Amino acid sequence: MLITKINIPEDEKKGLARINMPRTEKLVLIAGANGSGKSRILDKIKNTLLEKPTIADIEREISDKKRYENEIRTQEENLILMHEQNKGVGGGKYSDEEIQRVKNIIESLNSLIEKNTKSLKWNLIETSEVKEFYDYVDFVPKNLDLTDSRSHNRYRLIESVKKLDQVGVANSSESTFAKIQHVQDLWFNATHPSSSVNENNKFKYIADYERLCDYVNTFLGAKLDRTGDGDATIFGRVLGESGLSDGQKVLLQLCLALYTQQSKLNDFIIFMDEPENHLHPKALIEVVDKLFSTLANGQLWIATHSINLLAHYDPKHIWYVENGEISFSGNIPERVLEGLIGNQDEIDKLSNFLSLPAQMATAKFSFECLMSPKAIVTGVGDPQTTQIINAINSLKNKGDRLRILDFGAGKGRLLSTIFDTTASTEVNVSEWLDYYAYDLPSEDKAECLKVLERVYGSDKTRYFDDEEKFKGALEEHTFDMIIMCNVFHEIDPKGWLDLFREGGLIRSTLSEEGTLLIVEDQLIPVGEKAYKNGFLVFDKPQFKKLFGIKADYREDDFKQDGRLKAHFIPANVLKNISNASRVEAIKSLREAAKIKIKKLRSEDASFKNGKLHGFWIQQVANAQLCLDEFE
């Protein structure tokens, strides 16, 4: 649920002007200096939300209004009869007091109807849906006294762990260490040589602990470990004696809350009041990014005076508070900076960043394009991996065991995420997915082999970094699907023909009815120098020209925003690739990029447009450099 519109009257007692927010995004950043009123506004919005009429309230008001209206009609009819009888022979049957009493009843009922009407027209806060109840979650830990789980017996430990399942961080100080200890205990029992844990639970406990370790490493850069006595440790010290700083205590509580509640938070309205307290700016942004990514249908409100946080997000999310009055920022105006920094010298130091955002974005992207690409490991919920899993499931539903090649497997993030995503199901991944990994020789091999061992045990035949050994180990046309995730743009166009045409690695190992799945971020967020001439990001028009595809082919746009796309290329068109089709496809990209650049130069010079400008300039330059070699 989202708050979509706010119109709350002035509150003189709290020193607040009218809160008028005619349109709010999924992320709302309320900026302001200390004492400006941003926290008071946040509290006012929260309290007003709780007063919003629910479905039951509305139904009751409608029912009451109808009942009052019926009663008024009855009383009005009685009043008419009373007057008529008083006019009749031997009148004077009803006194003035009795008639006035009926009039008073009608007046009272009209007052109740007026209250009903006002309740039904209540519009201080509008939401994306009408709910049975309205609630919110505060998500900033206030208690920094973390309970040492060593003082718990087994029963109390489990009870503390369960409290963290409740959405929010109200119980996080009591439950954080207990949760770590409990998840580690389950993992330890599952991996013990004499373990009696059944296979399904064993996979789940191992996956849960590894996911927890990933979270702790991401948020705190720390490794979880275990003493010989079975006590969980962090930074090499037992949890209760770890000596964490206040910032680390806040961060660890947020980390465990997100780890535990991720699937439950997606529909909540979450409020954070000055989460930057105790947190390093980098850690703050990581927390907010992670939290925001979990809110599929929810909303995140943050009151902040952190310039770093404000600069990290699109200005459309920013509202500014001054002297108890809130207004839309749009871009970060001078008054926002003056309010937050309060010193012209400090503003001058930031002026290059703030006054030249488009140029900075272009320069940053251009600099990144001189660097080699980096392999990454992502967790459950990664959009591109989710997109691929959906594609695999569309084939899986046909019932047969799927043979998949992850081309350019890197650290094995695809298989790792599939394994973690399906850990709670009864069917093991290895029973329905026949997965193989191929990549060029790299230091990522060790990580990928670890993932393969998690899923397939000691099977050493699933990873290849040598083309001849790969072809020799497997029969031709064996794979149902070959997946390239963020890989195609890293392949030098000089190698396309050898890779895709008859006899090439892709064509010779993909089944005749198989699919080449190319997943790309059509606007890669970080520039890179994948090969001598940079990189080329193709979209549907370019793939159709490259492979000579006349008809349409399946294409999935994960977020329907033109960014994350999956291209389902049929195996039978790969043979159409030629030098001529390669040149035609690259020319198509060059011309499309020129159109994008012209359009961007007619728009506002924002940071976002500057970054896009840098991307498309690189596409034009890289395409021309490639064409110079082929024409």
List the CATH number of the domain containing 583.
Answer: 3.40.50.150
- What average pLDDT score do residues 260-281 get? 85
Question: How many Cα atoms are found within 13 Å in the side-chain-facing hemisphere of 417?
Answer: 21
Q: Which two tokens stand for residue 357?
A: 């955002």
Identify whether residues 308 and 410 lie together within a single domain.
no
Phi/psi at 269 (5° precision): -95, 120
Q: What CA–CA distance (Å, rounded) separates 109 from 132?
A: 27
Count other Cβ atoms within 10 Å, centred on residue 212. 20
Identify whether residues 486 and 515 lie together within a single domain.
yes
- Per residue in 302-320, pLDDT (tens digit) is 998 888 888 888 878 888 8
Residue 348 has what pLDDT?
53
Residue 394 has what pLDDT?
65
**pLDDT band for position 541 (50/70/90)?**
very high
In DSSP terms, 322 is beta-bridged to: 325
Q: For residue 562, give Cα distances in angstroms to 406, 518, 519, 568, 618.
A: 24, 15, 12, 16, 19
**pLDDT band for position 376 (50/70/90)?**
very low
Query: Is 60 exceeded by the pLDDT of residue 527?
Result: yes
Identify whether residues 564 and 451 lie together within a single domain.
yes
Number of domains in the chain: 4
Q: What is the mean pLDDT of the chain?
A: 83
Residue 59 has what pLDDT?
77
Query: Is 70 exceeded by the pLDDT of residue 378?
Result: no
- Out of 114-123, 138-147, 555-564, the most confident range is 138-147
> Is residue 201 one of the residues assigned to a domain?
yes
Looking at residue 270, the DSSP 8-state letter turns out to be E
Say which residues have a Cβ less than 8 Å from residue 604's Cβ, sequence separation at least 6.
Answer: none
- What average pLDDT score do residues 241-253 get? 89
Identify whether residues 103 and 82 lie together within a single domain.
yes
Q: Which two tokens stand for residue 52?
A: 């919003």
Query: Is 90 exceeded by the pLDDT of residue 583?
Result: yes
Identify whether residues 569 and 420 lie together within a single domain.
yes
Identify whether residues 403 and 552 lie together within a single domain.
yes
Residue 357 has what pLDDT?
46
Say which residues have a Cβ less than 8 Å from residue 208's Cβ, sequence separation at least 6.
Answer: 183, 186, 187, 423
Q: Tell the burial category of 558 from Cβ atoms under 10 Å away from its Cβ (0-12, 13-18, 19+).
A: middle
> Is residue 377 one of the residues assigned to a domain?
no
Q: Worst-scoring range by mean pLDDT, 183-192, 290-299, 356-365, 570-579?
A: 356-365
Identify whether residues 30 and 61 lie together within a single domain.
no
- What average pLDDT score do residues 306-335 get? 79
> Is residue 373 one of the residues assigned to a domain?
no
Q: How many degrees, rounded to 5, is the angle at CA 295 between CA 294 and CA 296?
A: 100
Identify whether residues 616 and 502 lie together within a single domain.
yes
> Is residue 48 one of the residues assigned to a domain?
no
Q: Between these two residues, 388 and 167, which has the higher pLDDT value? A: 167
Contact 38, 271 (CB under 8 A): no
- Per residue in 13-38, pLDDT (tens digit) is 889 999 898 888 899 999 888 888 98
Q: What CA–CA distance (Å, rounded) separates 482 from 504?
A: 13
Residue 535 has what pLDDT?
92
Residue 389 has what pLDDT?
67
- What average pLDDT score do residues 429-456 get? 88
Residue 375 has what pLDDT?
47
Query: Among 305, 335, 355, which residue terminates a domain?
Result: 355
Identify whether residues 499 and 401 lie together within a single domain.
yes
**pLDDT band for position 454 (50/70/90)?**
confident
Residue 369 has what pLDDT?
43
Q: Which two tokens stand for residue 48?
A: 């007003």
Query: Is 50 exceeded by the pLDDT of residue 361?
Result: no
> Is residue 131 one of the residues assigned to a domain?
no
**pLDDT band for position 67 (50/70/90)?**
confident
Q: Between these two residues, 336 and 67, which has the higher pLDDT value? A: 67
Query: Is 70 exceeded by the pLDDT of residue 337?
Result: no
Identify whether residues 463 and 604 lie together within a single domain.
yes
Q: In this structure, what CATH number is given to the domain that contains residue 297?
A: 3.40.50
Residue 424 has what pLDDT?
55
Q: Between these two residues, 580 and 115, which has the higher pLDDT value? A: 580
Query: Is 90 exceeded by the pLDDT of residue 247?
Result: no
> Is residue 367 one of the residues assigned to a domain?
no
Identify whether residues 259 and 275 lie together within a single domain.
no
Extended beta strands in 269-365, E state: 269-273, 299-304, 318-322, 325-328
What phi-psi label fits residue 534: left (phi over 0), alpha (psi between -120 and 50 degrees) or beta?
left
Q: What CA–CA distance (Å, rounded) separates 189 from 94?
A: 88
> Is residue 551 one of the residues assigned to a domain?
yes
Contact 299, 26 (CB under 8 A): yes
Query: Is 80 exceeded by the pLDDT of residue 133?
Result: no
Range of the domain at 229: 140-265
CA nearest to 519, candidates 561, 549, 556: 556
Amino acid 413 reads R
Extended beta strands in 191-324, E state: 224-226, 232-234, 237-238, 269-273, 299-304, 318-322
CA nearest to 524, candidates 482, 569, 483, 487: 487
Identify whether residues 326 and 238 lie together within a single domain.
no
**pLDDT band for position 365 (50/70/90)?**
very low
- What average pLDDT score do residues 594-621 get? 88
> Is residue 360 one of the residues assigned to a domain?
no
Q: How many degrees, rounded to 5, is the angle at CA 416 between CA 414 and CA 419?
A: 110
Q: Worst-scoring range by mean pLDDT, 83-87, 182-186, 271-275, 352-356?
A: 352-356
In DSSP terms, 437 is beta-bridged to: 406, 463
